[in-house]
Amino acid sequence: MPNINALLKTLRRPRILVSAARHGLSDYNRKRDLARLTGQSPRRPSASIVESLISQEKELEETRRSGDASYRVAHHIELLVALMAECRLIPRPVAN
């Protein structure tokens, strides 16, 4: 499994997307949203789900940058909300 923290630190997205996603965090429902966005069970470990979300978000970002007409900003925000929420569920290593 790749280092998720390192991957997340390298993500650079427009502020407006990140801000919109932060506002959507309070409405995130793991059971409902994860199944709809990824088709995966919320019973899977958060780290595994985050990897899947990162992959999907990367594809959306490439679509956005290319100017493809199929890009949907609302879907991008939904994925970022899920990604942020799932990252919060990953256990952090205990500092000594």
Contact status, residue 21 vs residue 75, Cβ threshold 8 Å: no
Q: Which two tokens stand for residue 17?
A: 């997307």
Average pLDDT, the chain: 84
Average pLDDT over residues 5-17: 78
Q: Is the pLDDT of residue 41 over 60?
A: yes
Question: pTM for this one?
Answer: 0.83
The reported pLDDT for the residue numbered 6 is 64
Average pLDDT over residues 18-38: 90
